[in-house]
Amino acid sequence: MATIPPVTNLRAFEAVARRRSFAYAAVELHLTASAISHQISRLEAQLGVQLFERSAHGVRLSSVGDQYLMRISGALSALLAATDDLERGVENSLSVQSTPSFASQWLVPRLRAFSEAYPEITLNLSAAHTHSDFALGQTDLDIRYGVPQWPDMVVEPLFEERIVPLASPAFIRMHRLKRPEQMTDVPLIQSTVSVVQWSDWFAAFTNHRAPERFMLRFDRAHMSLDVAAQGLGIALESSTIASRHLTDKRLSPVFGLDKAIRVKAHFVVYPARHARRRPVEAFLTWLHGEASKR
């Protein structure tokens, strides 16, 4: 069984890797540069690898060091956060990870209501397109997008969404869009990770094939929405995720909400044991309550 290196050595490694300097890391950790150097040397000796490449121009991570940093940085952050919460007497901490578009377009605008309802809970929210590894113990809940294929997890759908063509009101007027068949003559924006693609929409509402080439393609819904709001094309996105754009009238459904493909694509995912934590239970209750308000 591998021996876990001392946390002091790991903190020194992370600080040097982030600051690209022994001196800056030493200032941050309130140590001398010599002490930081010794900690790195001891860590490299224990691991049997060279974590940094040193030169007259400074230090940089070796390829092995870069891989090691990616594996431990999250775990180290979680350890430090848990320790800090304990020292400060914070017992009700909650760590939630979400897909970036859901976090920025739907979740963050509603967090004030959660904070007011549960002021005693410290919420740590992160956004990433990759799924949480619950085995690392860094995340309580993960809000995921896609087809639910996550065995051994509790998987709860948040809401049914309507995926519709969205464009700026000026774009709709300029192109005089009245019928789905006209979509073959206007620029379309593709969301490459969406569970519903233009080919699905064209098959459902027209007798035409979707174009094979798109002028603009994005891997985040919020980018497709923002570009569509600029009048550069039509985005095929969730009216739920686009709710702020619709409320502000920066976007409108091109043919109303009846020309929509309905899906359940956003899910809150977690190991069953996490539900026993009071902050998790509180957040789930609040989250489903907000989702039901649509």
What are the structural domain ranges in the chain? Answer: 7-87, 93-159+265-291, 161-263
Domain 161-263 CATH class label: alpha beta
In our burial notation (b when 16+ CB lie closer than 10 A, e otherwise), range 158-196 reads bbebbbbbbbbeebbeebebeebeebeebbbbbbeebbb
Same fold flag, 93-159+265-291 and 161-263? yes
Q: Could you say which architecture CATH assigns to the domain 93-159+265-291? A: 3-Layer(aba) Sandwich (3.40)
Burial of 83 (0-12, 13-18, 19+ CB in 10 A): exposed
Q: Give CA torsion, residues 161, 165, 168, 173, to 10 deg.
A: -140
Q: pLDDT tens string for the chain (294 positions)?
A: 568 888 899 999 999 988 888 998 999 899 999 999 999 999 999 999 999 998 877 788 999 998 898 888 777 877 776 666 665 555 678 999 999 999 999 999 999 999 999 998 989 899 988 888 887 777 899 999 999 999 999 999 999 999 999 999 999 999 999 999 999 999 999 999 899 999 999 999 999 999 888 989 999 999 999 999 999 999 999 999 999 999 999 999 999 998 999 999 999 999 999 998 899 999 999 999 999 986
**Topology of 7-87 in CATH?**
Arc Repressor Mutant, subunit A (1.10.10)
Whole-structure pTM value? 0.71
**In which element (H, E) is residue 115 found?**
helix 111-117
**Token pair recorded at residue 264:** 């359940």
